[in-house]
Amino acid sequence: MGEVVGGRYELTESIGKGGMAQVWRARDLVISRDVAVKFLRSDFVNLQQLDTRERLAEHDVLRARFRREATLLRRLDHHGIPELYDQGSHQGMPYLVMRLVTGVTLHKFLAQYAPLPLTVAVAVAVQVADAMACAHTLPVVHRDLKPQNVMISDEGVIALLDFGIAKPLGIDVTQYTRHGSTLGSRGYQAPEQILEKEPTTRTDIYSFGCVCYELFAGRPPFVMDETRGLVEQHLKVDPLPPGLYAAGVPEELDDLMLRMLAKDPEQRPTVDEVLDVLSPLGPHPGDPEPQPRLRPDPTAPLRQPRDSPVERQSQAPAFPTAPDPYTDADGEWLNAHALEVLCAAAEREIHEGDPDDAVRHLAGLADRARAEWGSRRPLVRRIWELAAEGLRLAGDCGGAARFYQGIADDLIRGDGPQERADRAVLRLRVAECRLAFGEIEAAIGVVEVAGHVAAGLPMSLASQVEKVRREVDTDIAERLADPGAAQG
C-alpha cells in the first residue's frame, strides 16, 4: 500500500483477487477521486504448471486478452459497466484504471438475503440484462456471467464486472485460447462452452439463466448429487421450473428460465426478449421500498423517476436526439425537407464507404419520423433503409438488424413480386447481421427460404435476391470454415 502507479494512482487496499488479475482501490492524486486499478497477475497459478516455453506463450496470451479487455471497455458505454479511465504498465505488469464500484457482489447479497422477494430479484435481473444488451449490440460475449461478477453498488445500481475473457464476435477475431482450455466458471457454463464450441450471445443467456434461477428459486438450477456431476447435468439434464422451489414465481418466469437454459442455443431468447418478460414484473417509479429493508437496495434505481440514471438503453442505438436543423421553427415537428437533405448526405457517405454523422443522425431520427409520419410515407422507408445500410457498413450489426427487421415487418405493404423480393432481401440482411452474433443455423435457414422465394420471382427480381443470398451464403461458409474463432 502507498505505492504510486503511473505517477498518479496511489494504491490503498486490495479489494479483489481472481485467477488472472488482482484489483486494488487507489486514489487518483491528480483529480482526487478513488478508482479501481486492475493488474494482470504474474503469479497466475496455472502458469506454474507449465514448462518455460509454454509459460511464456501463455503469458503472451494473457497480456493480449488484457489489452483486448481495455479495448472493449472503451467501446462499452453503459452505466452498468464500469468505464475505463486509463491504462499502462507498472514494473513490467499491465494495468487498467476503471470506475470504482463500492457495494457488495451478488454472491454475498444472495448469501445474506435469499430467498429474495420477487420484485427485488427482478430488479437485479433487469439491470444485469440491460448491461448485457449493451455488450450484445456490439456484439460482445461476456463468457463469465456469475454472481461473483455482478456488483450491487451502495446506491443499488447493478454493475457487470470482469470482461477479462469477453470476446467480440466475428471471423477476424484473434484466438486467445488453447484447445482444451474451457472458459467460463463451473456451474454457469453453457453446454457449448463445456464442449468448446463457438460462443454466441446466446451463450451469455444460458449463464445469465443460471444466475436468474438463483435469484428466483434461491438455488442453482443444478446441484451436485450422488449420480450425476454438474457438467453432465448442464449437458444432459433439463432443469425443473424455479417455481417448484419458491412460492410466487409467475408462470411466465418459469417459462423464461427454461428457455434461457435450453441446451440448444437457438432455442434460447435474446436479451431483449428476456427484458420484455422481466421489465413488467419489476418495481416501477413511485413504488414503496421493499420490506424488510435491504442495504443495498437494487430496487431503488427502478423506483426513481424516469429521468433517473437507470433506464433501459437496449431499445435503440444511443444516437443523438434530433438537432434543431431537422425540426420546424418551434422545434416540435420534424422538417421533411431537412430530412431529405440528410438522406442525400447519408447516401453519399454510404456510396463512399464511410458511413458517419449523417447515417448516425438518420438512425437517431428514424423512430421519431415513423411516429410522426406513419409507416406509409416513402420518406420514412427511405430513412429506415439508409439507416440500416449505413449501420451495417459501419459494423453496428445490432442496430442494422433492428432497422432491417422493422422495414420487413412494418414498412412494406402488399404481397406482390416486388414486395416478396424486398422482404427476402431484408431478411437476408437481418441474417447477415445476426451472423456477427454467432447465429449460423438461423442464417442457413433464411438462405434456404430466400432461394425458394427467388425461384418464384421474375428474373430481374430473382437476380436481386440471389445476389444478396450469395453474399450471405459466402459469409456463412467462411464462418463454418473457421471454427478456431470459436474460442478467443
40 in helix, strand or coil? strand
The 3-class SS string of 362-378 reads HHHHHHHHHHHHCCCCH
Alpha helices, DSSP H, located in 95-173: 106-113, 118-137
The 3-class SS string of 48-111 reads HHCCHHHHHHHHHHHHHHHHHHHHHHHHCCCCCCCCEEEEEEECCEEEEEEECCCEEEHHHHHH
Q: Are 19 and 45 in contact (CB under 8 A)?
A: yes
CB under 8 Å to 146, separation ≥6 — which residues? 107, 185, 187, 188, 207, 210, 211
Tell me, yes or no, if 225 is annotated catalytic: no
Phi, psi of 74 (to 5 degrees): -65, -30
Q: Are 362 and 342 in contact (CB under 8 A)?
A: yes
Binding residues: 38
Alpha helices, DSSP H, located in 247-356: 251-260, 271-278, 300-303, 336-351
Which is the catalytic residue, given 130, 144, 204, 297?
Answer: 144
DSSP code of residue 4 = E
- Closest by CA to 217, choosing from 193, 196, 248, is 248
DSSP code of residue 243 = G
Dist CA 142 CA 148 (whole Å): 14
Binding residues for ATP: 38
Cell (9 digits) for 359: 447515417
Residues that are catalytic: 144
